[in-house]
Amino acid sequence: MKKVPEEIILYGEGVDSQLLSSIAFYLRDRLKIKVKIEELHYRENSPYLLASFRIRNPQGLRFEPHPLEVELERKGIIGNSPPKGVIYDGWAFMRFLRSILPSCSLSKLQILISSRLLSTPEEGIHHIRTILLGYPSIISVSGLVEGPAKAKEFYLSRRLFGDELIGYQLLSENSYLKYNDPRLPLVLRGYVLQAFFYQAFGEPFCFDRGCCLYNAHWQKELIYAQLESPYELCPFHQQLLERWMISAEQ
Ligand SMILES: [Zn+2]
């Protein structure tokens, strides 16, 4: 599924429009490509389907949703505020999105930035994800906060004291992302580029820890790759992008 997109369409769910505009502005500037922000068009049965994607255990068990859960999804759609703290089956959610997109042409790169927590299985156990690459690609803002692991001290203190607060005190303030972190818009830039590289070149990830395409498993790695590294893309990926931009101009 490789095709350099001619246009990027951004969707948001549970995120503010200012954030989407800033990402659209960045992508236009960085890739010299058309970027539009559009709304998702949910259907009558969407609340029910969304509620059915909740996973109930680490193995990804799902069952018939409770009417209250369906109601919560309905309110979430109306208020642009999906339920918090709920984990959804990421691939099922992606298939659902595909079914409500107006078009699935590969000449468009479609990206949803969502506040939902999404998980996919690895060796039978579900893990929270920061990004799901596919059609559409989905970036989870909550996943950026909760997916990559914090420093070991955090988990050790939680185990010893049963208290997350003590764990947080052991972490240095800027070593992990928080909800409403002012650095989130900058971090998201690297993740939308991952979605772009995935569709355009079939290569979303990089082994260079300083490249924004680095697949971070730890908060520390994420912060370094997206914010602290002296460059955005590594020389290899920067060159790949430049070559594409030159050929696109011709
Ligand atoms: Zn790279």
Strand arrangement of the beta sheet that strand 137-140 belongs to: 34-37, 7-13, 108-114, 137-140, 131-132
Average pLDDT rounded to a whole number, residues 32-39:
96
| Residue 207 CA to ligand 1 centre (angstroms) | 7
CATH of domain 7-249: 3.40.390.10
Average pLDDT rounded to a whole number, residues 70-94:
96
| pLDDT-derived band at 176, boundaries 50, 70, 90 | confident
| Residue 209 CA to ligand 1 centre (angstroms) | 8
Average pLDDT rounded to a whole number, residues 149-154:
72
Report the percent of the chain where pLDDT is more than 90.
73
Mean pLDDT of the chain, nearest integer: 91
Q: Where are the domains of the chain?
A: 7-249
| Residue 212 CA to ligand 1 centre (angstroms) | 7
| pLDDT-derived band at 174, boundaries 50, 70, 90 | confident
User: Does pTM surpass 0.75?
Assistant: yes
Instruction: Say if strands 87-89 and 117-122 run parallel, antiparallel, or are unpaired.
Output: parallel
| Residue 215 CA to ligand 1 centre (angstroms) | 10
Predicted pLDDT of residue 154: 67
| Residue 30 CA to ligand 1 centre (angstroms) | 16
Indicate if the pLDDT at residue 153 is higher than 80.
no
| Residue 101 CA to ligand 1 centre (angstroms) | 30
| Residue 239 CA to ligand 1 centre (angstroms) | 10
| Residue 54 CA to ligand 1 centre (angstroms) | 34
d(CA 240, CA 150): 32
| pLDDT-derived band at 2, boundaries 50, 70, 90 | low
Average pLDDT rounded to a whole number, residues 126-143:
95
| Residue 247 CA to ligand 1 centre (angstroms) | 20
Bond into 136 cis (ω within 30): yes
Going 189 to 190 to 194 to 196, the CA torsion angle's sign is positive
| Residues sharing a CB contact under 8 Å with residue 92, sequence separation 6 or more, in sequence order | 52, 53, 62
Element spanning 164, H or E:
helix 164-170
Indicate if the pLDDT at residue 1 is higher than 60.
no
